[in-house]
Structure 1
Amino acid sequence: MKIAFFSTQSYDKTYFTRYNTRHELVFFEAPLNEKTVALADGCQAVCAFVNDELNATVMEGLAKTGIQLIAMRCAGYNNIALEAAQKHIIKVVRVPAYSPHAVAEHAVALILTLNRKIHKAYNRVREGNFSLDKLIGFDVYGKTVGVIGTGKIGEVFCDIMKGFGCRVLAFDLVANRGIEAKGVHYLPLVKLLPQCDIISLHCPLTEQTRHLINAETINLMKPGVMLINTSRGALIHTHAAIEALKTGQIGYLGIDVYEQEEKLFFHNLSEEIIPDDAIMRLMSFPNVLVTSHQGFFTDEALTQIAQVTLQNIDDFEAGKPLVNKVI
């Protein structure tokens, strides 16, 4: 099967080429959208990522080029017009889980870096400044941590924070009995938010969770709360977060995802003027840490993404049941 890869980075080529044994892989650096859909001509499948645009127009274009399968090399699929895919009889598969430890550990890295100001200390020492002034943090031990979303990543995150000696509270539509047995307590969101020193988001982006963190829910939080997002950017209303940072209601913000990241993340823009005022404002705060969607970026995760994606394609080609199908 000939597969067109969009939004390709060097590591995509490395890992997919390493584990591919039978398919013809064509790599494009360009994202998949209405302007680039014609690049898939002659292929039977496309492999897309989180910031590719798979709207109804793109779906129609893919159908015209003979695409039968969209293989997402990620867990999320909120960027896909599923009804249009069904209309054009295009199957969609994904990688539902890949090293949940990678993302959970990155969330912890953001917490520790923000708290102990590791990034600032690193830059100071490199400049010969060994002062400890303004580097005071707090003990994570004994703090109350709120976890919103307790799927596989959220479960691993809960385990880690329990290991730190934290009191862990959780919110989800369905309780995870495994972590509940370990002492994680589930609460309604309005009761969880006021109690937490640290809040970490690990839920998918849906119509119900879009802007879950907004001016109203932020005002329910403890003043000076630490907020971490390694899930989906649009879970947080960016401008509400900026206002809360200005007043001190949010004391620390660590984000690996961002509402408008598709025009920024995974690209080197160091020699360009960035027109996104919101991200520039966020980066101006000394208590904000932004990483560019690298939570998944471990050898183990990249290996699993490549292997599961290729197996999804193998199964489709062989007419086998698609265990990771979206539709």
Structure 2
Amino acid sequence: MKWSHLVAAGVPVLGLQLAIAAPAQASASVVLGLPLVAVAGISGLSSLTPSGSDFSASACEGSASAGHVALTPEPVASKAAALLGGAPSKLELISMQQSSRKGQSSQALAPIAPAAGGWRCATLAEARTMPAIYSATSHTPANPDNFLGSARLPLRHTNFDAQWDRVRSAGLSSRVVAGMATRSGAGVTETALAAVNAWSNRHIRYREDSDIYGKPDYWATASATLKRGAGDCEDIAIFKMQALAALGVPRSDLYLTIARDTVRNADHALLVVRLEGRYWLLDNATDKLLDGAMSYDYRPIMSFSAGGKWLHGYTREPDQAPTLLAAR
């Protein structure tokens, strides 16, 4: 999956500059790394969508990194260091050995904690030897409705609605997921979330959509992914979503989230789960259950749930009353 972003706050893309803010009475604005395909879905922004017979979303494809909102991460310990205690992972050792055989200069890589099944997403195939430093940062003040260090704005429509509607309606039976995790008398617990995450990472190997379905981007149903035992990051996240739904987690508490890995400069898909008022992150990059309030060097772009669809951004205190601006 490749995203094309409009650049917030003054950087032109296709001749359009866009700054998005909260209502005038609000105390903070929301800055978005905005996918062009989603502009028409935000209330009040449909008039800003470029018009004309020569416009298409595909014309915007290019370097997604150009469209990111500049953020300064806080100096914190990395997730990888916490998981491995500073030791290199098996994936790192393999990567360094391969680099050495090719005569390339060997650089010390930050420790990475891959899941048992491995992990590669979109352009991550070319960047798999890059360091992976997952900083537990939060750019947005705590809010019970926000996760991954970002704020959310509701969307009406996206270009992924057809795929989302197809995969969200194709669930799994409780019999299929019975061996993954047990449900206690109190319902699904954190232990069950971790068990489903680890089982999925270990039994579903990563493969690109183009290798399986002959398409650059295809969202597979959970049953199709289970049957093949393979899928890309979206497919694995969708499988986890349906497995947890079969165990009894309300579908409105399961969020398929598309994000940008800012370390590897690659696109990724994750599952965020709300359990007893707290968000948890399930990632095929690690079997460890992570606090979903933190960003971990991911920049969430868009989320899908039974309760709606959202675009992610970051709040900031304005120097003046916030407004909605568009300039050619």
Q: What is the TM-score normalised by the length of structure 2?
A: 0.29
**Structure showing greater Rg:** 1
Q: Larger helix proportion, structure 1 or 2?
A: 1
Q: Larger strand proportion, structure 1 or 2?
A: 2
Q: What is the TM-score normalised by the length of structure 1?
A: 0.29
Higher relative contact order (CA 8 A, sep 6+): 2
